[in-house]
Structure 1
Amino acid sequence: MPSTAVAIIGLACRFPGAASPDEYWRLVRDGRETTQSIDIKTEFDANFFALSPREAAAMDPRQRLALELAWELFEDAFLLPETVRGEQVAVHLGAMNDDYALLTLRDASRNLDHHSFAGTSRSMIANRISYAFGLCGPSMTVDSGQSSSLIAVHLACESLRSHAAPLAIAGGIHLNLADETAMMETEFGATSPSGHTYAFDGRADGYVRSEGGGLVLLKPLRAAIEDGDRVHAVIRGSAIGNAGSSSSGLTVPSVSGQHDVIRQALSNAGLDRGQVDYVEAHGTGTEVGDPIEAHALGEVFAGRRGDPVAIGSVKTNIGHTGAAAGIAGLIKTVLAVENAAIPPSLNHDSAEIDLGALGLRVNTTLTSWPVVDHPRRAGVSAFGMGGTNAHVILEQAGGGDEVGCGRGGGDRGSVAWVVSGRSGQALVNQAARLGEWVGQRPELGVADVGWSLVSTRSVFEHRAVVVGGDRGQLVDGLAEVAAGRPGAGVVVGRAGAVGKTVFVFPGQGSQWLGMGRELYGRFSVFAGVFDEVVAELDRYLRVPLREVMWGGDAALLQSTEFAQPALFAVEVALAGLLREWGVVADFVVGHSVGEIVAAQVAGVLSLGDAARVVAARGRLMAGLPVGGVMVAVAAGVDEVEPLLGAGVDIAAVNASDSVVISGEEEAVGVVVDGLVGRGRRVHRLAVSHAFHSGLMEPMLEEFSRVVADVSVGSARIGLVSNVTGQLAGSGYGDGSYWVEHVRKPVRFADGVAAVESLGAQVFIEVGPAAGLTVSGAVLVKDRPEVDCVLAAVGQLFTQGVEVNWESVLGGGRRVELPTYGFARQRFWLGDSGSDIPDRPRVTAPEQLQQLAPPERHRTLVELVRLHAAVVLGHPSGHDIDPELRFQDLGFDSLTGVELRNRLKLHPDLARLPLSRTLIFDYPTPSALAEHLGELLSHNDSGESPDDKIWSLLRTIPVDELRRTGLLDKLLVLAGQPEESPQDPAVSDDVIDSLSPDALITLALNTKDENEAL
């Protein structure tokens, strides 16, 4: 294999009857013929590519198709598009004709806007890919007529060989949009009246107009092998050339021009004519072209040893796809080499020329690839109407039959399938496509599908996680997502700007026999941490903890002596597992004994000291006389406290309407009776002792002695104290603290409020469910533990918490998956895209000034959304997400100015200093609305900001303006380059010559100087 060999590591295509390479292979393999129009010419997922409806409608559909194909190309290559942003990736794309520009200009008064020039420029087809994906390598649209796309492939290979880029996208797109172009081709006399392509057949009567697009992702073979890429096939060599001057005419093919380029490609590949098994011919089915091509091939292959060379033409399947004809033939041949089969060339009965004498035969049936003593090889030709020709030599990839890499997933029990989309509809599409894909491929392992979803697919804000133990469960879960009715094992959400994350560690009463055993058997990280914790605890326990937790004596585990150490072991191990999966807490909060877990996880207590505190605490509490009760009450502390008598204490304040009382049974009963009489709900807890009450005092002296020498470290993360209900400060965590902790009430509600005030939004119970949060728990009794923990991290993920899913799933093989489920809408010239009147009004004049700040902000958000919808061409302000960046909504600098100008039409906003860079300074509709609200608040005096600047400038001496640099700026704005000599203040004529906009611009650009003055 020459060092210049190029690997094809990705494929994407859209041809008649085939929306993907897989469908395309089935079409040609099965010998089907179709030239139906591609049905997505008018449809596009503009939101996915952050394009406004207005811009999408102005864009040539070839640009739109190029974007979608490029995304699918990266997905086919198992490459995350975001990883190549900013890299030197080349883009070479073949295209001819400009039908959409012609359609635009048919009714220019209706169709033209500022997006039209770029939207209809042929050069922008390739550039659109480079811009959207952030690719910095060579980027060009190639037009050599019908050979354009194969010329583009050759040029892309040259970019790789010359080290201009390490990766290249190549191919072509051709769409038939204007009747005028069809008329010209018919008048030219080359189109088929029969509607069939008779390549190399006596019935040849012209080509059949068709359309489509295809792309390949190219990489130097050596680099592809080193990087472990899946290689579809190898481009061993290629060549391009022109026939030069011909007496037959500009548009007539040349035998010499064609055989010269084929010979050159063979030479560049280091091969001779006997080492090629098949040729995908240009094969247009024209009376002039096919005989010339046959003789050119004959001059290369006639007289070689062995059987005649098989030839065929994909144009017999899908017609002539114009500038995309070469890539159509190339992708067909790549798939044939990959599948070791040569598809039939259709509509061939007999030829007027003796193909056998030329060393050729048309392959008319599906044929296994010939058994040869070399890798499977094929040539692909494409010839342009003006004589620019291309030929590419393809070769089978060494060991390229294997798609997967890494170890197989095997049967691991429950797994998670993660799907996401840039919109809710796209998420539905993704789930439906994946369910159908897996349902049709029983050979796919569920673990491998899960692994491929998280390792080869990008993540978007609309998310779903489906958890299940077998294919049926998972496919059913996908169906629920697709139907919009999530059930058990399915989590759906939209990730936003998530706040800080809190791990909540439950206390005693939430434990059950066998907890943690399934996790121990599945996750090595959990097992490792659990073993370490248990080893420390067992030093202080009379029965090994593992025997208690996973034995058959439930009563023993319910004993405080073992319940508290068991909870500690499971919760510390769970925290370690979550940390391994990339889920990191900003704050930790424990409930009662759970706080010891929090202190250990935060680094305040070493594992050894924490184990000693927990074991002593449980043992000493268990040694107290039995008796005493704890009752949960659905009432606030202010209502409960006045009812307490001797022998009853507040044990915990869990929420504003949830209190636990604890103490002697008779005394607690009196309080409970009173609360029940008031209609309050009560629930007696299943505990052996009255924790956090006076009944704990007999253990405190001994406990104090045991924990007296506990060492205290600094907290690595925010840690909340049950005793104070606030973040732990200096002196936290020593022996005396844990003694006090036993007796004082658990101020859990205050702790939650404290972290919420610091930005906490996501709470997760890291332990057996105790109902402490509404967000859910990592473990739930009577549910499979692996399912629970996967669903729990899935819940976090759908909220926007980062999760390292590759670590969660632990590896597998890459397998083929369906490409992105674009949520397409119609975009075409003349479609208004909006039913909004030109100047919408949200509030009456001056009403904004009178609104209270919260209502004003809501109104301003709706105002911005509505005007943004008008500017972008959306039918409603509801289509504008107020938290998305303007650039992600499809705004650019020009539409940003248009939005600014529309906002100034509102009477209350007309005199506000709104800069032309408004959408960049305040990057979301919500942020802009907040800024507008602040300006309105500062403008309540009635004097407009430009009036204030005007007045200020009249009072500032020239020396002060000169010292701060403001004078030069004023004079430039006024168009007076020379400084006025000795004016005591800025003259009225200078001020009067400045427009309000100029003054506002000056103020915005010289904010620091103004503040100094």
Structure 2
Amino acid sequence: MNGNSTNGHTNGHNGTNGKAKIDINMPIAITGISTRFPGGADTPEALWRMISKGKSAWSKVPEDRFALDAFYHPDPDRNGAMNVAGGHFLDEDIASFDAPFFGISRNEAKAMDPQQRLQLESAYEALENAGISIDQASGTKTSVHIGVFNKDYADIMCRDPETGPLYQATGNGQSILSNRISYFFNLKGPSVTVDTACSSSLVGLHLAVQGLRMGEVEQAIVGGTNLIFSPDIMVAMSLLGFLSPDGRAYAFDHRAKGYARGGGIATLVLKPLDKAVRDGDPIRAVIRGTGVNSDGRTAGITLPNGDAQAELIREVYTNADLDPAETGYFEAHGTGTQAGDPMEAGAIHRVFTADRQRSSPLYLGSIKTNIGHLEGASGLAGVVKAVLCLEKGQIPPNINFEKQNERLDLEAWNIKVPTELTQWPADVPRRASVNSFGYGGTNAHVVLDGYDATQHEMRTIDTDIDQRLFVFSAGHQEAASSLFTRMASYLRDIPTSNHARLLQQLAYTLSQRRSQLSHRMAISASSIAELIDTLENGKLTLVKSQRVSRLGLVFTGQGAQTAQMGVGLMYQYGVFADSLNLAGAALKNIGCTWDLVEELSKDAETSLVNEPLYSQPLCTAVQIALVDLLRSWDVQPTAVTGHSSGEIAAAYAAGALSHEAAMIAAYYRGVASSKLAADSSVNGGMAAVGLSPDEVQGYLAKLTSGKLVIACYNAPYNVTLSGDIPALDELESLLQDTGVFFRRLKVPVAYHSHHMQQIAEVYRKSLESLPRPEASDSDVQFFSSVTGTLTPISELNAEYWVRNMTSPVQFTSSLKSMCLGLKSDGKRLTRGNKMNVQMLVEVGPHSALAGPIKSILKDPSFSSKAQLPYTSCLVRKQDPLSAVQKAAGDLFMNGYAVNLAHINEPIDGPCPRVLSDLPPYSWNHSQRYWHESRISKNYRLRDQPRKDLIGAPASDWNPTEPRWRGFIRLSELPWIKVTR
């Protein structure tokens, strides 16, 4: 999986230097959040929509998890049965997994606990949400702490040990839950799986915070996982009386009868606040304090200890030097049990409300009423809810609350359970507490503060950017539809007033703060409306990246020029404008009487761009400016070639000519050509002909009215002829009825013909002051269209440029030599069939060489697999910003490491804000991975419950030999007892 990124985001790379600094009260930022919760709450935003509206994710047990009817019985004391009617389950197919994304084989994926699989995906989503790419995370001292409780998949496999898969040990090892994340992302910090039952994930968060504050790590991934698809633990907990019979949570309500199970995954990314601010990370909330303790000895190992809970909370606040009276909301463990709720609420009262103003009650809630008790992930579920409350400044209703538990006195305790969406109290800071308790007595607590981004928000530089490049990527082609649809939907929901800022933030987030994966798309747009339209109607597909690193630049010759070519780039890219100004200054220094930028800016009616005196230097100046712009984007060629006068800018790109020298060569070429055009005694012209060189020679031999020569070998069946006008007229007549393509070129002189000999000496003398090529550290290969071969840049002297004007253009040979890496002796620069360049970029006013290039690449000497990607910097009648950004997008899509930051933010300054609410990655869940024996399936999905006398169908049975297994218990069947 290719996850390269081009920005300089540090994320604390590569460990700490020297002795780590310990700060026991260091504020810790939550920078990334991922949720996979019941009720379709697969993003924090979706979760907020659900809980803010007081919705419940309760449902019956999905049929693919286990057969509820076969295990349900209303008697909680009945062995092998459960008295639970439903719960809270993930909507998605838990067998589906994007194994190829993580480089996991089908056999290994089938052996992996779905909790491992979804936790991997969730970890990626959390890093993505934090603006951390795969490459940025790799090698960092990042810890991983994953909370877990259940192991349903292991239970399924152990039901029939003889059928276990090869990778069962690693696929179901609890330690691998965290280790696999560290392995895939190449993370070097501690990797720890935590099982303290229902407090696991909050204990994991505490351990992560400790590591950050001790300086042991630089960032942390904290996760929690809980999936329900085996009846066994439901049966066991039902027998202990833990579970709510209807599967709903009634936290603090008089109907509380037990907790409601829920399945889900949550992951957070943590980082010291000062480093998160430094790196421009999204900051969702700030952890002010954490703590963990144990109940010790109680009346029973599963019975809570209110004093221990109160002591823990008080200790966390004391250590953080915080006043409990300033906390506005408390996200309780709140399982909805008769013993637990009063104990917890009493402990909260003792810590928080003794000195509290009566006008400012403490709001109390529990997300378990919405999504159930996620057990191993429940602590983080509470944290995510609290973070959203802090961000939104609102407290959601606590559903399933109609009347308080009779053992509570919330009014006297100054505690309020909200039953509607409530604004955050105005008289207290945005601070929240979160509890999470394990059924064995391990308690965890965290204090969170809201974060005011305006304190540290980096000022956005007004760069007058009119157009930006938006990049998208995935690990598979199938993501395209979902990726583009979800993004368009997201953009439609953005208020119009935020569009300008959003464009900048979106381009930055997509290009700099997300992994750049193997299948790519890039879109240039100047508005949200344009971007939405392209996403919805552009018939987009993701392009498989080729990981291009070797570029060939091809420079257009004369004839492609247009008025105002590329001039729009001046207003967005200072590099381009500076280059043109430098070109203009170079012309002034040699006595040019007209202003280059002024002439370039003229419209079609007033422009003199088609006159040789102007066209030569204008084209070269634009090409050099494009080279400079590409360099600013880290686009560096391996090789260059040029068509005719395009060789001047190609020589600049290769380091053979300075900017000034290139402009001198172009200017005097234009001066000489204009003198020839003004000579009325010379009547010359040019035409493009669709014949091969050999074929055209037969026609040239028949001419009697003048002389024509092949001026340009453009492609195997495309030549340009140059010479006397009468001869052109005669040839046109000869070809008139043959169907052969013939088109006159709008040029005033016969370039690359005998006509040019008349000005050769004039041009030669003009170049006497041209600086000779100096030794250069450039390793760019120059393939000459004068010789058609690789040419040392030391040979590009004044005499060479005269030959460039007078000799035929051997473009077919030069392009072929560049692509294949042919030296002048015919030997190759590269071994085997490896291409010398992997992609071609045309640099000029128009994509004039696109057709010839395509034709040349069809030559039999090229492998059928060697069709090189092609793009052009500018295209006639196309907005120059769109065109050049499309070229950059083509480079990106083909895997070239173009500097996207410099494309979208050409002026150095603070980075835009990372968008933390973008749609998460679109996983490829088209494949299911599941390993289960017939015996296990017969048990888990059996279609009949246990009967009183014969029991339940045996797991190892078949329809032709049915077998039943059961126990006769007097406690269940008292009527069979014989009275003596």
Whether the TM-score (by the shorter chain) exceeds 0.5 is yes
Question: Distance between the aligned counterparts of 1:53 and 1:10, measured in 2?
Answer: 30
Question: Distance between the aligned counterparts of 2:718 and 2:775, measured in 1?
Answer: 32
Of residues 117, 134, 138 in structure 2, which corresponds to 1:85?
138
Question: Distance between the aligned counterparts of 1:58 and 1:537, measured in 2?
Answer: 71
Of residues 156, 166, 173 in structure 2, which corresponds to 1:103?
156
Matches within 5 A, 1:606-1005: 606-624=658-676, 625=679, 627-645=683-701, 647-676=707-736, 678-710=738-770, 711-714=772-775, 716=778, 717-729=780-792, 732-758=795-821, 759-773=836-850, 774=854, 775-810=870-905, 812-816=912-916, 817-830=918-931
Q: Is the 8 A contact 2:25 2:213 kept in 1?
A: no
Question: Distance between the aligned counterparts of 2:799 and 2:121, measured in 1?
Answer: 65
Q: Is the 8 A contact 2:25 2:288 kept in 1?
A: no
Question: Distance between the aligned counterparts of 1:285 and 1:707, measured in 2?
Answer: 91
Counterpart position of 2:33: 11
Matches within 5 A, 1:314-353: 314-351=367-404, 352=406, 353=408
Q: Is the 8 A contact 2:96 2:927 kept in 1?
A: yes
Which SS does the other structure have where 2:174 is aligned? coil
Residue 7 of structure 1 deviates from its aligned partner by 1.9
Structure 1, residues 38-81: CA drift from partner, whole Å, max 9, x if none?
13322211111111222212111111111111111112212223
Residue 207 of structure 1 deviates from its aligned partner by 1.1
Q: Which aligned runs of 4 or more in structure 1 are off by greater than 6 angstroms?
A: 401-404
TM-score, length basis structure 2: 0.81
Structure 1, residues 671-730: CA drift from partner, whole Å, max 9, x if none?
444455554211111111111111112111221211134222246211122211111137
Residue 786 of structure 1 deviates from its aligned partner by 0.7
Structure 1, residues 546-587: CA drift from partner, whole Å, max 9, x if none?
333322555622111111111011111111101101111111
Question: Distance between the aligned counterparts of 2:462 and 2:184, measured in 1?
Answer: 35
| Shift in CA distance, 554/585, structure 1 to aligned 2, threshold 3 Å | farther
Answer 1 or 2: higher relative contact order, Cα 8 Å, separation at least 6.
2
Of residues 506, 513, 522 in structure 2, which corresponds to 1:456?
513
Q: Is the 8 A contact 2:222 2:267 kept in 1?
A: yes
| Shift in CA distance, 79/770, structure 1 to aligned 2, threshold 3 Å | closer
Residue 338 of structure 1 deviates from its aligned partner by 1.9
Which SS does the other structure have where 1:556 is aligned? coil
| Shift in CA distance, 266/779, structure 1 to aligned 2, threshold 3 Å | same
Counterpart position of 1:902: none
Structure 1, residues 487-514: CA drift from partner, whole Å, max 9, x if none?
xxxx852211436211111111111111
- Structure 2 stretches lacking a partner, 5+ long: 1-22, 59-87, 822-835, 855-869, 906-910, 934-980
Question: Distance between the aligned counterparts of 1:501 and 1:414, measured in 2?
Answer: 25
Question: Distance between the aligned counterparts of 1:551 and 1:384, measured in 2?
Answer: 76
Which SS does the other structure have where 1:558 is aligned? coil
TM-score, length basis structure 1: 0.78
Question: Distance between the aligned counterparts of 1:80 and 1:217, measured in 2?
Answer: 13
Counterpart position of 1:281: 332
Counterpart position of 1:575: 627
Question: Distance between the aligned counterparts of 1:476 and 1:53, measured in 2?
Answer: 38
Counterpart position of 1:361: 416
| Shift in CA distance, 441/554, structure 1 to aligned 2, threshold 3 Å | same
| Shift in CA distance, 186/236, structure 1 to aligned 2, threshold 3 Å | same
Residue 400 of structure 1 deviates from its aligned partner by 3.1
Question: Distance between the aligned counterparts of 1:823 and 1:288, measured in 2?
Answer: 44
Question: Distance between the aligned counterparts of 1:497 and 1:333, measured in 2?
Answer: 43
1:394 aligns with 2:394: no
Counterpart position of 2:305: 254
Residue 455 of structure 1 deviates from its aligned partner by 1.4
Which SS does the other structure have where 1:214 is aligned? strand
Counterpart position of 2:271: 219
Residue 5 of structure 1 deviates from its aligned partner by 2.6
Question: Distance between the aligned counterparts of 2:508 and 2:27, measured in 1?
Answer: 31
Counterpart position of 1:857: none
Question: Distance between the aligned counterparts of 2:520 and 2:801, measured in 1?
Answer: 42
Q: Is the 8 A contact 2:282 2:913 kept in 1?
A: no
Question: Distance between the aligned counterparts of 1:249 and 1:762, measured in 2?
Answer: 71
Q: Is the 8 A contact 2:277 2:456 kept in 1?
A: no
Question: Distance between the aligned counterparts of 1:293 and 1:789, measured in 2?
Answer: 63
Residue 662 of structure 1 deviates from its aligned partner by 0.6
| Shift in CA distance, 555/293, structure 1 to aligned 2, threshold 3 Å | closer
Greater CA drift, 637-646 or 281-290: 637-646
Question: Distance between the aligned counterparts of 1:174 and 1:64, measured in 2?
Answer: 12
Residue type of the alignment partner of 1:323: G
Counterpart position of 2:825: none
Residue 457 of structure 1 deviates from its aligned partner by 0.9
Residue 769 of structure 1 deviates from its aligned partner by 1.5
Matches within 5 A, 1:37-436: 37-40=89-92, 41-110=94-163, 112-246=164-298, 248-307=299-358, 308-351=361-404, 352=406, 353-372=408-427, 375-397=429-451, 399-400=452-453, 405-407=458-460, 412-436=465-489
Residue 831 of structure 1 deviates from its aligned partner by 8.2
Q: Is the 8 A contact 1:258 1:293 kept in 2?
A: yes
Which SS does the other structure have where 1:200 is aligned? coil
Structure 1, residues 405-447: CA drift from partner, whole Å, max 9, x if none?
4416676322221111111112433222211111111334323
Residue type of the alignment partner of 1:370: P
Counterpart position of 1:471: 528
Which SS does the other structure have where 1:699 is aligned? helix
Question: Distance between the aligned counterparts of 1:126 and 1:339, measured in 2?
Answer: 31
Question: Distance between the aligned counterparts of 1:221 and 1:543, measured in 2?
Answer: 57
Q: Is the 8 A contact 1:403 1:815 kept in 2?
A: no
Question: Distance between the aligned counterparts of 1:500 and 1:2, measured in 2?
Answer: 50
Structure 1, residues 114-137: CA drift from partner, whole Å, max 9, x if none?
211111111211111111111111
Which SS does the other structure have where 1:337 is aligned? helix
Counterpart position of 2:491: 438
Q: Is the 8 A contact 1:708 1:736 kept in 2?
A: no
Residue type of the alignment partner of 2:752: H
Counterpart position of 1:892: none
Residue 813 of structure 1 deviates from its aligned partner by 3.7
1:529 aligns with 2:579: yes
Q: Is the 8 A contact 2:580 2:625 kept in 1?
A: yes
Residue 225 of structure 1 deviates from its aligned partner by 3.2
Greater CA drift, 527-536 or 100-109: 100-109
Question: Distance between the aligned counterparts of 2:758 and 2:466, measured in 1?
Answer: 49
Aligned length: 821
1:595 aligns with 2:647: yes
